[in-house]
Chains A and B, each alone.
Chain A
Amino acid sequence: MSISVQNISKTFKKVNAVNDVSFEVKEGELFGLIGPDGAGKTTIFRILTTLLIADKGTATVAGFDVVADYKSIRNHVGYMPGKFSLYQDLTVEENLEFFATIFGTTIYENYDLIKEIYVQIEPFKNRRAGKLSGGMKQKLALCCALIHKPKVLFLDEPTTGVDPVSRKEFWEMLKRLQQKGITILVSTPYMDEAELCDRIALIQHGKILQIDTPQEIVKYYPKNIYDISADNMYKLIESLKSFKHHYSVYPFGEFVHYTDTRNDFNPQELQYYLESKNHTNIKIKITKTTIEDTFMELTK
């Protein structure tokens, strides 16, 4: 096991930031902690990177205990905190050089590891980090976290505040890093990114709701979900909520995700009901369960 977390709890001034959390990450795995702001993701990251000590529970990273062997961990992990922790007044190259020297290495020693990412920002190597776009900052921060060839990489919300193109490129990079044998623990509030992980833990209010592969996790959802649309979204939601057999009604992009309390639900019935409520352009079709649906069901 590359990361092993057992019954970790952490309280800040009465707030239970992390509550009895356990999970394991295998070597070479890309593991995602998925949850909204304030779910406890950052606290877990800080405990695992030896920046905080848990009130209860134990954890090991790369075989080292996070409290007793914190020095060894600091030699073997790469960490990219939520805010891209770069020196804004240093250039791209100077930042990278600095992080290389403090880890006792050089840019060239592990160049093959960062090459793919670095070539994208190399044209701007003399630009100050503060003047880079969000996507480029993110790439530079990743290079800095990788420069000493860590065994385990911790990425805390690496895609927050980054445009969709950079986000996509970033996840492609993570996949390739994973193939080089690096274990990656990543956190994100975006459910759509969950699908790109090998396994995920859904987390809310400091508690883990479920751990599984993205493909399996949606199977925990007990019901069939229907996409429903009509001309007036607001009235559609109102009508569905007053339908006596409704189990859940959530707006979901251009549709409403609807589930029924009954197992033998017939969409036709709902069609008639909505027509009776004067809805126009009604469309009802069964849809695939998403991780977001599962998350909502688990936090309900």
Chain B
Amino acid sequence: MKNESVIIVESLTKMFGNFTAVDTISFEVKKGEIFGFLGANGAGKTTAMKMLIGIGKPTSGKAQVAGFDVFKNPEEIKKNIGYMSQKFALYDDLTVKENITFFGGIYGLSRIQIKEKTISLIEELGLQEIENKLVGSLPLGWKQKIAFSTALLHNPKIIFLDEPTSGVDPITRRQFWEMIYKTANNGTTIFVTTHYMDEAEYCDRVSIMVNGKIEALDTPKNLKSQFQVHNMNDVFLKLARG
């Protein structure tokens, strides 16, 4: 079970005209793994991730996500993944409950399922006091937790997170990572794209993209000892500066 790969990427390439945004990348991500997908802005992370979540068509190569081919079944992929971006997660002008109901509806849950999920989610996160408050009035930390939980409403096999904890206060950030660990422990794969290297430290394995290519792929621990440095930031600096 644990060794089952939910993302298999082989020589995936994306060209924009003459420009190769993603250059023959290959990697696998296991079920329940927290995988960090790192790179500077413009290194090709976003383009690669778009292909994996079924909204970008690769130029060549192979990729399977949640058991579906990105060329043939992008729609099936979308049903089996969750996505949470830092910029857009919840509607500020809807209440907590309305947001949950809305996203449940988008993911195709039945009305009864939505009702049950809403109740269990509110209980789990301890949101009883604020369930009818507008999301916009909540602190950032709360918003992120709720956003993460709504992205999990339809029990996706993989959840894609885009810079999930940048700018958040340290305690909230820890609480968020604890939620991620818990989710991963339940068998959901976590795919984190970020250019903040301290977020990378929390991942089971990380890949680092430079100019469209994956230049390193290992556990943070192994990467650090390989480059003889103390943190991922320095690993990145060594890689990027050549």
Are chains A and B touching in the complex at the 8 Å CB cutoff? yes
Identify A251's interface contact among B181, B220, B232, B236, CB under 8 A: B181
Identify B171's interface contact among A160, A165, A299, CB under 8 A: A299
Q: Closest A-chain residue to B141, C-beta based?
A: A36
Which of B99-107, B117-125, B154-162, B194-202 touches A? B194-202
Q: Which 9 A-B pairs have the closest CB atoms?
A: A253-B201, A163-B40, A36-B169, A234-B181, A234-B185, A37-B167, A250-B174, A164-B236, A251-B177
B41 within 8 A of A: yes
For chain A, the count of residues having a C-beta within 8 Å of the partner chain is: 33
* Binary CB contact string for chain A from 248 to 263 against chain B (1 if under 8 A, 0 otherwise): 0011111000000000
- How many residue pairs link A and B with beta carbons under 8 A? The number is 84
- The main secondary structure of chain A at its interface with chain B is mixed
Q: Closest A-chain residue to B233, C-beta based?
A: A164
Interface residues of A in 5-44 (CB under 8 A from B): 35-39
| Interface contact B197-A164, CB-CB below 8 Å | yes
Identify B178's interface contact among A189, A237, A295, CB under 8 A: A237
- Shortest distance between the CB of B217 and any CB in chain A (Å): 16
* Binary CB contact string for chain A from 126 to 159 against chain B (1 if under 8 A, 0 otherwise): 0000000110000000000000000000000000
Interface residues of B in 101-144 (CB under 8 A from A): 139-140
Given contacts A204-B169, A234-B178, 13 further A-B contacts (CB under 8 A): A36-B140, A36-B169, A163-B40, A164-B240, A168-B237, A189-B167, A191-B170, A192-B233, A253-B201, A253-B231, A254-B219, A254-B220, A295-B170
With A234-B185, A250-B174 as contacts: A165 and B241 at CB distance below 8 Å: yes
Q: Closest A-chain residue to B201, C-beta based?
A: A253
With A251-B178, A251-B202, A254-B221 as contacts: A232 and B185 at CB distance below 8 Å: yes
Q: Closest B-chain residue to A163, C-beta based?
A: B40
| Interface contact A253-B220, CB-CB below 8 Å | yes
| Interface contact A190-B181, CB-CB below 8 Å | no
With A37-B168, A250-B174 as contacts: A164 and B40 at CB distance below 8 Å: yes
By a CB distance below 8 angstroms, the chain B residues around A1 are none
Identify B140's interface contact among A37, A134, A192, A232, CB under 8 A: A37
With A164-B237, A165-B241 as contacts: A253 and B198 at CB distance below 8 Å: yes
By a CB distance below 8 angstroms, the chain A residues around B241 are 165
Q: How far is the CA of A232 from the CA of B33 in the complex (A)?
A: 11
By a CB distance below 8 angstroms, the chain A residues around B184 are 234
By a CB distance below 8 angstroms, the chain A residues around B170 are 36, 191, 292, 295-296, 299
Interface residues of B in 164-208 (CB under 8 A from A): 166-172, 174, 177-178, 181-182, 184-185, 195-198, 201-202
B residues near A, CB below 8 A? 40-42, 139-140, 166-172, 174, 177-178, 181-182, 184-185, 195-198, 201-202, 219-221, 231-233, 236-237, 240-241
By a CB distance below 8 angstroms, the chain B residues around A250 are 171, 174
By a CB distance below 8 angstroms, the chain B residues around A35 are 169
By a CB distance below 8 angstroms, the chain A residues around B40 are 163-165
| Interface contact A163-B198, CB-CB below 8 Å | no
| Interface contact B202-A254, CB-CB below 8 Å | yes
By a CB distance below 8 angstroms, the chain B residues around A244 are none
By a CB distance below 8 angstroms, the chain A residues around B196 are 190
Q: How far is the CA of A292 from the CA of B168 in the complex (A)?
A: 12
| Interface contact B182-A296, CB-CB below 8 Å | no
A53 within 8 A of B: no
With A164-B197, A165-B240, A189-B167 as contacts: A38 and B181 at CB distance below 8 Å: no
Q: How far is the CA of A47 from the CA of B186 in the complex (A)?
A: 48
- Shortest distance between the CB of B174 and any CB in chain A (Å): 5
By a CB distance below 8 angstroms, the chain A residues around B167 are 36-37, 160, 189
A233 within 8 A of B: yes
* Binary CB contact string for chain A from 159 to 171 against chain B (1 if under 8 A, 0 otherwise): 0110111001000
With A36-B168, A36-B169, A234-B184 as contacts: A161 and B41 at CB distance below 8 Å: yes
6 contacts between A and B (CB under 8 A): A133-B41, A165-B237, A204-B169, A253-B202, A254-B201, A292-B170
